[in-house]
């Protein structure tokens, strides 16, 4: 049994948190592998599959099935992410800015928080979910259908950036940051279209409504948001964007940067999947833009 999509994509702040949260949803034999990971993650990342199977009292294929059930391509992929998530020296502790901080301290804390979020995402992101999103987006591009990006507030800025990146690939794309426009746009989407909904909290009513409308109309719904939020379970594909930054305090700086990073990953992977046909038009675009710059 595979984990539900929301748990598979990220039910906790780390890879180990996700395994612990979703352990009960796995088959009994896979649960034994999961408990072995939780008992000593570093040893699991080092040992060969034969030793892992023996210690968990399961077959070697069961070890591989466990890795796939929790969202990874196989044992090698899982071990790579596991080793990264438990490696020493990675700054995973969120450092809150305080009113008494000097400018130098603010600079260091803001930078450290962003770096920590990026490393956490690199080490814990579900490559299975990312690949599903890339496949859907690339297919939409190939079929000449529409890709639309929805977000409000800070997430609306990310939606605009995503539209900017994807339209350069020759995609029929748009970004909407107004709730009424989102509802109208989602109403016009259909099978073969893709909508990417971006939200820090995952609790914005307008975004929930538009995601539901688009999904009912048959469009593929991809959500970039926090695990455990209502929006996380509303989309077909959930790309978890988890971090310790509270969305009710200050401006959501880290979430915005993390969302931009995820968009960059998607845009790059889709461009690679579309192949050589994208390169000539990008070159022509750059050539035509030269006249806009001073020599």
Rounded average pLDDT over 79-105: 69
Does the pLDDT value for residue 177 go beyond 90?
yes
Strand pairing partners for 237?
222
Q: Are residues 195 and 107 located together in one domain of the fold?
A: no
pLDDT tens string 93-147: 456 777 788 888 888 888 888 888 888 888 778 888 999 999 999 999 999 999 9
Are 45 and 66 part of one and the same domain?
Answer: yes
Report residue 101 CA to chain centroid gap: 32
Same domain? 258 vs 156? yes
Q: Order of strands, edge to edge, in the sheet holding 220-225?
A: 172-176, 146-150, 194-198, 220-225, 237-240
Per-residue pLDDT band at 3 (split at 50, 70, 90)? low
Alpha-carbon gap, residue 78 to 210, rounded angstroms: 34
Residues 277, 132 share a domain: yes
Instruction: Decide if 244 is inside a domain.
Output: yes
Going by their DSSP bridges, the two strands 172-176 and 194-198 should be labelled as: unpaired
Give the structural domain span for 107.
89-124
Q: Are residues 167 and 264 in the same domain?
A: yes
For 215-227, the pLDDT digits (tens) are: 999 999 999 999 8
Instruction: Work out the average pLDDT over 84-100.
Output: 60
Say yes or no: 187 and 204 in one domain. Answer: yes
Residue 293 in domain: no
DSSP per residue over 162-196, as a string? Answer: HHHHHHTTT-EEEEE-SHHHHHHHHHH--TT-EEE
Which among 72, 104, 124 is the end of a domain? 124
Using CA atoms, how far apart are residues 227 and 12, in angstroms rounded to an integer? 7
Q: What CATH number has the domain bearing residue 206? A: 3.40.50.10490
Residues 73 and 149 in one domain: no
Confidence of residue 252 (pLDDT cuts 50, 70, 90): low
Do 247 and 112 fall into the same domain?
no
Residues 115 and 239 in one domain: no
Residue 260 lies in a domain: yes
Q: In CATH, what number is assigned to the domain containing residue 61?
A: 1.10.10.10
Say yes or no: 102 and 158 in one domain.
no
Query: Which of 85, 107, 137 marks a domain boundary?
Result: 85
16 plus 153 within the same structural domain:
no
Looking at the fold, whether 224 and 97 belong to one and the same domain comes out as no
Total domains present in the chain: 3
pLDDT grade for 246, boundaries at 50, 70 and 90: low
- Residue 248 pLDDT exceeds 60: no
């Amino acid at each position: 049994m595979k984990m539900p999509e929301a748990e598979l994509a990220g039910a906790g702040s780390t890879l180990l948190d996700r395994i612990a949260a979703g352990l009960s949803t796995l088959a009994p034999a896979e649960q034994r592998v999961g408990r072995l990971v939780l008992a000593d993650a570093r040893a699991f990342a080092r040992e060969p599959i034969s030793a892992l199977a023996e210690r968990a009292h399961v077959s070697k294929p069961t070890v591989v099935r466990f890795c796939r059930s929790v969202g990874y391509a196989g044992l090698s992929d899982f071990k790579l992410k596991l080793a990264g998530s438990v490696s020493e020296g990675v700054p995973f502790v969120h450092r809150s800015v305080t009113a008494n901080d000097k400018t130098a301290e603010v600079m260091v804390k803001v930078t450290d928080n962003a770096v920590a979020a990026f490393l956490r995402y690199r080490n814990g992101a579900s490559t299975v979910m990312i690949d599903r999103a890339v496949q859907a987006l690339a297919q939409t591009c190939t079929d000449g259908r529409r890709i639309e990006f929805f977000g409000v507030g800070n997430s609306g800025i990310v939606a605009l950036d995503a539209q900017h990146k994807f339209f350069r690939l020759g995609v029929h794309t748009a970004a909407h940051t107004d709730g009424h426009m989102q509802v109208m746009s989602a109403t016009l989407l259909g099978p073969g279209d893709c909508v990417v909904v971006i939200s820090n909290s995952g609790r914005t009513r307008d975004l929930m409504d538009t995601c539901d409308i688009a999904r009912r109309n048959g469009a593929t719904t991809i959500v970039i948001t926090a695990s455990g939020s209502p929006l996380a379970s509303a989309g077909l594909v959930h790309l978890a964007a988890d971090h310790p930054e509270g969305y009710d305090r200050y401006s959501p700086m880290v979430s915005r940067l993390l969302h931009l990073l995820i968009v960059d990953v998607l845009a790059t992977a889709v461009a690679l999947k579309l192949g050589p046909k994208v390169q000539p038009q990008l070159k022509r675009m750059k050539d035509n833009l030269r006249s806009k710059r001073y020599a």
